Structure 1
């Protein structure tokens, strides 16, 4: 997408979000842990089988699981899911599960419509990339760990427990997706208790930038949990540990983070003026109403 087209897309989305407040029926959902710790921005390498990330007391490990290729009858590693499309696909699957309250998701009917709704298009290259990330997600296990300094709790979640990841070779065939995706019992239960509602328009506007999507999701789950009139301070080092994948130099990270933070906050009007930089130190963050209010306590993650 050209720079001018991208700017218009983000500006139109910002105005729409400001003028027309979304309700829970308009929401798209992400697991709360994946609003704090994140998948890779870029492909860490097809041979990488373990990805780890930490933020505060939340720890994430993503493991690539061998899958049997029916064509070669050999086990293959599909790689770690990465980038904006992996985030969008997972949020779509989460949303369908929450809306239907079912572990079995009809992907065949919903995926193409979802891709169109967020403006990705359905050209051959995009379809191929989405398929690849769906395959990688299906063949991954999330290990979610929480520590308090003296003890730790870990839950291993296989997101998808059943579906055919070996798509037809011909992308022009009518069936572009498997008919269903079945979420594992553990992941489905965890999602029901730890889902964060996000504005689909915001994710669509940020759909070309994984860091921007992560910052938006982080703000959406973090700001409303801050006590009113009690701002919290976050150091630059903590932000780099959380969002600085691939950035060795702090000055380079600061430059891209400031720019991307501003991009994300424009899609979350409630956050404007709630994130203020303290020169050379970090940021003060203050309470803000979430982008979308949960309808019931089942959609508010446990503290």
Structure 2
């Protein structure tokens, strides 16, 4: 690693806030380990985001929310984006799987929730989490897998079904919510059957870099499925299509991708990936960040 990259890694560790009960096991939906939310705010004028990678399809659309001041649906929050939206989803997914319910109990203040994400507890972080939670709650999604040539499994729903978007405060000015987030049953059912385990300690280090989180989750769900003693090739064009949002020039994307990949591999250090400089990368079978033997996801129809 270059001196600059070593500095980035040290700074990442320095910025990590690990609560005493930090959860080392987090989950992301398998589709969102292959296709991703925007890296940056696309603005309220962009209300639809569609991505495809292989047989995975994802679309998200921003909708207007009810404004109690005007008593109308007149507020457009925009699409969720960036690393915080990704961290929020992994945390909410994990609570849903742990509690085996779509109506999940969360911290009673937003400050506590921010701490549980492993983020610094300050006004900037709280405002950013409020914003991303609101965007997630006000968005409609479509998640699909092409399972056969003429057959697909698709979910059209919200992710968060019930949520207080207006965040009242108590007498001490702590931002409150009602202590619950309700996921849609369709999303919850799909998550129960398509959840990818991730190491929360790794995500804590990558928490400020959306591309790093995406590369990490991609490798986490992909590498352990590569057949033994075989390599799977991914071209630079394919990588740019998947991870190259905002990059018009290939040389700039290659430089950024290589640097970000090196950061990811400081965490997922058992990942085996070899570069062909002029063509792309070869993926080799590797153990997942979280071995399957240490966790179990109950099937959706086994819930109490």
C-alpha root-mean-square deviation of aligned residues, in Å? 2.6
| Contact 2:114/2:125, CA 8 A, preserved across alignment | no
- SS for the counterpart of 2:161 is strand
Report if the CA contact (8 A) 2:234-2:282 is conserved. yes
d(CA) in 1 for partners of 2:162, 2:220 = 31
SS at match of 1:269: coil
Q: What is the TM-score with the length of structure 1 in the denominator?
A: 0.86
| SS state at 1:220 partner | helix
After TM superposition, give the deviation of residue 119 of structure 1 in Å.
3.9
Count residues with an aligned counterpart. Answer: 286
Deviations 1:176-235 (A, max 9, x none): 334211011111111111111100011110011000000000000000011111110000
Q: How does 1:44-63 map to 2 (within 5 A)?
A: 44-63=42-61
Q: Distance in 2 between matches of 1:241 and 1:170?
A: 46
Q: Which structure 2 residues correspond to residues 200-279 of structure 1 after superposition, within 5 A?
A: 200-271=200-271, 274-279=272-277
* Residue 8 (str. 1) matches residue 6 (str. 2): no
Matched with 1:40 is: 38
Q: State the match for 1:72 in structure 2.
A: 70
Correspondence 1:93 to 2:57: no
TM-score by length of 2: 0.86
Structure-1 residue corresponding to 2:282: 284
Deviations 1:126-176 (A, max 9, x none): 100100000000111221133455554432131111111112378962343
Q: How many Å separate the matches in 1 of 2:277 and 2:171?
A: 51
Change (3 A) 1:120 1:152: same
CA contact (8 A) 2:48 2:59 kept: yes
- Give a deviation string over 1:55-100, Cα, whole Å, max 9, x none: 1121111111221111221212211000000001111110111111
Moved more, 245-254 or 140-149: 140-149
- In structure 1, what is the Cα distance between the partners aligned to 2:111 and 2:196? 23
Structure 1 stretch displaced more, 108-117 or 209-218: 108-117
Deviates more, 1:147-156 or 1:245-254: 147-156
| Cα distance change, pair 251–31 in 1 and its aligned pair in 2 (3 A) | same
Checking the alignment, whether the CA contact within 8 Å between 1:108 and 1:175 is kept in structure 2 is: no
When residues 95 and 48 of structure 1 are mapped into structure 2, their CA distance, relative to the original with a 3 A threshold, is same
Task: Tell me how far 1:242 sits from its aligned partner.
Answer: 0.4
For structure 1, which runs of at least 5 residues remain unmatched after alignment? 14-24
Q: Does the CA-based 8 Å contact 1:59-1:144 persist in structure 2?
A: yes
Structure showing the higher helix proportion among its residues: 1
Q: Which residue in the other structure is 1:126 paired with?
A: 125
Query: Kindly tell me: are residues 58 and 255 of structure 1, through their superposed partners in 2, closer, same or farther at Cα, counting changes over 3 Å?
Result: same
